[in-house]
Amino acid sequence: MPSTVTFHDMPSQYLAAPVPYAVLVPDREEQAGPLPLCLLLLGAGGTRDSLLDLQPLFDFWWAQGAIPPMVIGTPTPGPDYYMEDPAGPIQWDGFLAADFIPRLRGTCPVSDTTAIAGISGGGYGALKSAFAHPHLFAAVAAMQPMLEPGLHESDAGARNRLHHSAGGPPQLIGSARDPLIWESNNPANRARTNAQQIRDSGLPIYIDAADHDFLTAHDGAEFLHRVLWDLDLSHEYHLVRNADHGGPTMRPRLRAMFAWIGSLWNPAQPDAVAEEATRIWLQSGMKSRPPAGATTTNAFIAFLRAGFGPLRAEAAKSDPSTHRRLGVL
């Protein structure tokens, strides 16, 4: 049987109007138990109907084994831009964390494992939500997130405000926006504020940007990449050559993003034969020719890391940044 898409509406204390949403569930006859849940947030013009349009793609990828099965929930954001305004009727952080995820966990065949992903404005929404609640999500992935470079509202010039023409809540989008609302919603600021929580949670982070983006969203993605680097927060970052904010690269990039999410739930298993052969070779003092594939094994990397341990400890005496995962550049 093919997957199914169902449509629902959900009132919430956090938003002024009920939120339409759709849920895509893979063929249940092929699943033995509950599946991971992935929230897929869409950008300007995206609605729950978009999930119906994506259904054939997911069915194809599932049939190929390109991505593992998961339940996907997509709300219609309207013009809200996933904004969180503590003083107003638009509080998307609260809706996603306190209403939407519990509703999907209570009504769908899902486990407690929840990832959040987004495209364009939805990528912005996914990043800021995950950075606000890093322990709630098993991963966050954003494709061409609609970001502006900077920590302060005034940091973004005309080049990085082109997307304002598409509209949005006036507190967040437009010439009269509230700097405090923009800054409190900004994913880079949230990463800085919650860096230790993000680090403690081990939140996996994936960012994809197009280097020929007609909205220049890649500027904001690059800025966030540098902020995460400076914070020593591990993340995966792709700057896709000659890609745009849409176009023919969209499908392979979407597939890559969901394959990345799936790889967290189904990581590649090491070659047991190669691992054992490498361990024996290392224990022998590497006196013979290395076994095939030795340099690709965990055993060999562990050996190298151990060998460089004293060198790293010595370097750290004069350069404490040696203890970081990511260097201070």
Residues 146/124, Cβ–Cβ less than 8 Å = yes
| Mean pLDDT value across the chain | 95
> Where would I find the H helices in the chain?
49-64, 92-94, 101-107, 121-132, 179-185, 187-193, 195-201, 217-230, 250-265, 272-283, 298-318
Q: Is the pLDDT of residue 1 over 70?
A: no
The CATH number corresponding to 4-265 among 1.20.1740.10, 3.40.1280.10, 3.40.50.150, 3.40.50.1820 equals: 3.40.50.1820
Burial 25-40 (b: 16+ CB within 10 A, else e): bbeeeeeeeebbbbbb
Burial 225-244 (b: 16+ CB within 10 A, else e): bebbbbbebebebbebeebb
Which residues, in sequence order, are bridge partners of residue 20? 9
What tens digit of pLDDT does each residue of 147-177 get?
Answer: 999 999 999 999 999 999 998 999 999 989 9
Task: Return d(Cα 32, Cα 34) in angstroms, integer.
Answer: 7
Average pLDDT over residues 194-202: 98
**Three-state secondary structure along 83-127?**
CECCCCCEEHHHHHHHHHHHHHHHHCCEEEEEEEEEECHHHHHHH
Judged on CB neighbours under 10 Å (0-12, 13-18, 19+), 307 is exposed
Which residues, in sequence order, are bridge partners of residue 70? none
Q: What is the domain partition of the chain in residue ranges? A: 4-265, 272-323
Band of pLDDT at residue 44, cut at 50, 70 and 90 = confident
Share of the chain above pLDDT 90, in %: 93
Residue type, 225: H
pTM of the model: 0.96
Task: Return d(Cα 126, Cα 93) in angstroms, integer.
Answer: 10
Average pLDDT over residues 21-26: 97
Any residues with CB less than 8 A from the CB of 79 and at least 6 apart, and which?
Answer: 167, 168, 169
Q: Would you give the DSSP letter of residue 289?
A: P
Residues 224/128, Cβ–Cβ less than 8 Å = no
What tens digit of pLDDT does each residue of 249-307 get?
Answer: 999 999 999 999 999 998 989 999 999 999 999 999 999 999 999 999 999 999 999 99
Residues 119/147, Cβ–Cβ less than 8 Å = no
CB atoms within 10 A of CB 316: 13
What does the angle CA 202 – CA 254 – CA 160 come to, to the nearest 5 degrees?
A: 80
Cα–chain center distance at 185: 16
Q: Is the pLDDT of residue 30 over 80?
A: no
Task: Return d(Cα 102, Cα 220) in angstroms, integer.
Answer: 31
